[in-house]
Amino acid sequence: MAVLKIKGGKKLSGEVNVQGSKNAILPMLAACILCKDFVRIRHCPKISDVYAMIHLLETLGCDVTWEDDAVVVDARTIQSAKLVEQQARVMRSSIILAGAMLGREGKIEISYPGGCSIGTRPINLHLKAFRKMNVQITETEENMICTTSRLTGEDIELDFPSVGATENVILAAVLADGMTTLRNAAREPEIVELCKFLRKMGASITGEGSERIVIKGVTSLHGADYQVMCDRIVLGTYIAAIAGAGGEADIKVNCVSQLGEVCKVYEQMGVTIEKTDSGLYVQSPGKLNKVDLIRTRPYPGFPTDMQSQTMAVLTKAQGTSIIIENLFEGRYKTVSELRKMGASITVEGRAAIIKGVKALTGANVEAKDLRGGAALIIAGCMAEGCTTIADIQYIERGYENIVDCYKKLNVNITLA
Ligand code: EPZ
């Protein structure tokens, strides 16, 4: 199996672009099912989660082709309503096809999305909302069968602002009978992007980005041509790499305003982050301040998807920092790998206590999950000597052209 090899200790410099957003494109690809037409989405990242979602769309009967960085979905014909194969089990995001298929066909038989390395990933909030919208759900050992004679618009309040549950309700509501008011909705930028995309397809949605979204069911949707926004977590990962290794770089990006708490935390560490005409200028002295306490929260709080990367950066900060991971119980798996590189981290339940050390040392480590793998790239840039990262398939789920991108930032990185 291929491994990433990084020779660390160099300051970062240069200029890099930011790929399209994984967590926006996945629900948008599901949304394509809602129209019997062609849909083109430009700036689509070539990552394995996108390839997996495309495979599921093709399993349902869509034709999907690439035109440079645009993906073109022909959703005129749906031939199946069953996603019970391994692929659906493997990819957590497959559940997002349920809302779209209920809107299009009024039925879907789908495997329970597997838990993944960061947690059990329940879907109770999705199913509770579907049942309220006149969906009957029968559950077998491995699969569930969702059917409805007619989706009805309803008043729904989520027990937790779940991103996936918010997306699934929106996808089911756009063609439902009547009005759906969704309260305690997730406010992530990816929700806003999905709603802008659906409006381009003819949907009637207001309130996205707030905790109350109103969707007025329409009779049909049509095709669209849309450019997906940049990936704010890939952007944050670049900021973390520059912060940890030191140096300065220009990041070409159009989603600067979505970093919320991330910029505040990195500026507390001593990193300079300035808006430029084409994105962001990021500069780091290398020696960073600790951060007393970081709690991961739903947007606009500090994103859980930036937790592992930030932990890596804080391993060399001056002093002790504390992270509380509130979203996913399994998101500290990379601590063991960072310890192999000399980090001093103690985990107590949801809390990670990171005591800054003078230096990290290159080591042979393994990616345990997507963002933890990205954290190891950052630690490899920070460490003295050579680091190899195995199981990079986790990282390739969400990061496009890793070697090319980090080489542009003066990182000595190769695929071996
Ligand atoms: C989305 O996952 C993202 N994935 C995740 O990014 C991200 O970490 C997460 O939102 C939070 O921002 C995609 O968009 C594809 P949730 P999702 O439903 O929708 C609990 C990455 O690294 N919950 O908001 O699965 C759940 O257990 C990935 O790019 C229920 O209890 O997240 C968790 O504690 C990782 N019941 C919390 O809510 C449910 O029915 C947040 O989950 C659903 C969720």
pLDDT digits (tens, 9 = 90+) for 122-144: 899 999 999 999 999 998 888 89
**Ligand 1 lined by 126 (C-beta under 6 Å):** yes
Residue with CA at minimum distance from ligand 1 atom 41: 162
**Cα(255) to centroid(ligand 1), Å:** 21
Residue type, position 85, single letter: E
Burial grade of 175 (CB within 10 A; 0-12, 13-18, 19 or more): buried
What angle separates helix 189-200 from helix 163-173, to the nearest 10 degrees?
10
Q: Which residues, at least 6 apart from 26, have a Cβ–Cβ distance to it below 8 Å?
A: 49, 50, 53, 93, 96
Q: Find the mean pLDDT for residues 334-342.
A: 98
Residue with CA at minimum distance from ligand 1 atom 15: 23
pLDDT of residue 285: 95
* Contact of 9 with 385, CB cutoff 8 Å: yes
Report the percent of the chain where pLDDT is more than 90.
90
pLDDT at 115 over 60: no
**Ligand 1 lined by 50 (C-beta under 6 Å):** no
Residue 32 falls in the annotated catalytic set: no
Strands of 70-74's sheet, edge to edge?
Answer: 63-67, 70-74, 38-42, 224-227
**Cα(169) to centroid(ligand 1), Å:** 14
**Ligand 1 lined by 162 (C-beta under 6 Å):** yes
Q: Find the mean pLDDT for residues 144-170.
A: 97
Residue with CA at minimum distance from ligand 1 atom 43: 123
Name the CATH code of domain 22-227 (choices 3.65.10.10, 1.20.120.530, 3.30.930.10, 3.20.20.370).
3.65.10.10
pTM, 2 dp: 0.97
pLDDT of residue 273: 97
The catalytic position among 32, 62, 116, 386 is 116
Consecutive H or E run containing 147: strand 143-147
CATH architecture of 4-19+231-415: Alpha-beta prism (3.65)
pLDDT, mean over the chain = 95
Q: What are the tokens at 76?
A: 């005129």
Residues of the chain with CATH 3.65.10.10: 4-19+231-415, 22-227
**Cα(30) to centroid(ligand 1), Å:** 17
**Ligand 1 lined by 315 (C-beta under 6 Å):** no
What is the rounded radius of gyration, in angstroms, for the C-alpha atoms of the chain?
A: 21
pLDDT tens profile 242-282: 999 999 999 999 777 788 799 999 999 999 999 999 999 99
Residue of 53, 125, 144, 163 to mutate, ligand 1, most atoms within 8 A of C-beta: 163
> Which DSSP symbol is given to 297?
-
**Ligand 1 lined by 327 (C-beta under 6 Å):** yes
Report the percent of the chain where pLDDT is more than 70.
99
Model confidence at 289, pLDDT cuts 50, 70, 90, reads: very high
Which residue ranges make up the annotated binding site for UDP-N-acetyl-alpha-D-glucosamine? 92, 305, 327
Model confidence at 121, pLDDT cuts 50, 70, 90, reads: confident
**Cα(273) to centroid(ligand 1), Å:** 28
d(CA 228, CA 224): 12
Atom of ligand 1 nearest to the CA of 126: 40
Distance in Å from the first CA to the final CA of the chain = 9
d(CA 310, CA 342): 16
- Residue 346 CB coordination number (10 Å): 13
**Ligand 1 lined by 124 (C-beta under 6 Å):** yes
**Ligand 1 lined by 33 (C-beta under 6 Å):** no
Q: Where are the beta strands (DSSP E) in 198-325?
A: 204-206, 212-216, 224-227, 247-252, 272-276, 279-284, 293-295, 320-324
Atom of ligand 1 nearest to the CA of 124: 40
**Ligand 1 lined by 370 (C-beta under 6 Å):** yes
